[in-house]
Amino acid sequence: MGIIEKLSDITYKHPEHGELKLDVYQPENKGRGKNPVLIFIHGGGWATGDKSEIHEDYRAFLLKALLAEGYAVVSIDYRLTDLENIHFPAPVIDCKDAVRWVHKNAGLYHFDPDHVGVWGTSAGAHMAMLLAYSADKDFYGAAELRPFSSKVNYVFNNYGPVDLNQLFKPSLGNFQLGLARIFLKRKYNLRQSRLTTFSGMDIENQKKEVISFTELYSPVKYIHEHTVPTFTIHGDHDQTVPLKQAKILDAVLLKNQIPHQMIIYPGQGHGLKTLNPQQINDLAKEMLAFIAAYDNSPI
């Protein structure tokens, strides 16, 4: 499996105080027709990371497998949350705008706008599901991209959170939080930091608002009978986004009769960092088979 062509650091929008870039990976058959597209959204707790993550661990092999099968892959950056200025929904607005950019520029880059999917890891998977499950008109961003579609045909969810209230538990009482502060200090501090950067609110003094906020941006709340097919992978030793999140998603997709597949990797933690070559090769085959099965209806 060989690469191909990479077009680096293409600006797709200009938010206030900067610009956002993406990389386009084109298969060897580019120019011979329109190529289906998979958009990659990196993880990092909504606050760190960049588009180069696609070259790490098992993702590098999946990228090559996709390109070898004639898929174009677009890896994007988005605004990262912080304590002062950037909070949700800014990052998912950027992700939606990246999809709109793909539709807008389909002719220029030989993309097939009827065959677009989205792939995300961790926080990126959360946003991949949120953009895929929400309505086309939701999360409007750049004015010049508004006329274009943000619809995708399927989503590839890699250990993403789906129910933020269940994950972060903003409704915990003072006694429970006090125990967590003492006995689970690292997890407690991470929770506080994530909730603050994500929402821009003070969980100690704005509990009701935070609960409403995290529910609003939980992908599971957007699932309905017309939700796109979803392929999920998750490790059963994940301490960052516990397997329970994937099982919640699985149950709601099943209830709504949405085509979906889930692979659980025994012994794997967050990021699936120790998958062996055979597991990665098998995953590539499963991913490509899922895409072939469900990327067959025009958007």
Q: Which domains does the chain have, with CATH numbers?
A: 5-163+219-294 (3.40.50.1820), 164-217 (no CATH)
What's the CA angle centered on 63, arms 217 and 99, to 5 degrees?
Answer: 40
For residue 275, pLDDT over 60 is answered with yes
When mean pLDDT is compared across 54-58, 202-206, 252-256, 284-288, the lowest value belongs to 202-206
Residue 154 vs residues 33, 68, 195, 260, 295: alpha-carbon distances, Å: 22, 20, 28, 10, 7
Of 119, 51, 46, 148, nearest to 88 by C-alpha is 46
Region 163-180: what's the mean pLDDT?
Answer: 60
Residue 105 vs residues 92, 142, 216: alpha-carbon distances, Å: 20, 15, 31
97-133 per-position pLDDT tens digit: 999 999 999 999 999 999 999 999 999 999 999 999 9
Region 147-160: what's the mean pLDDT?
Answer: 98
Token pair of 169 as six digits: 């538990």
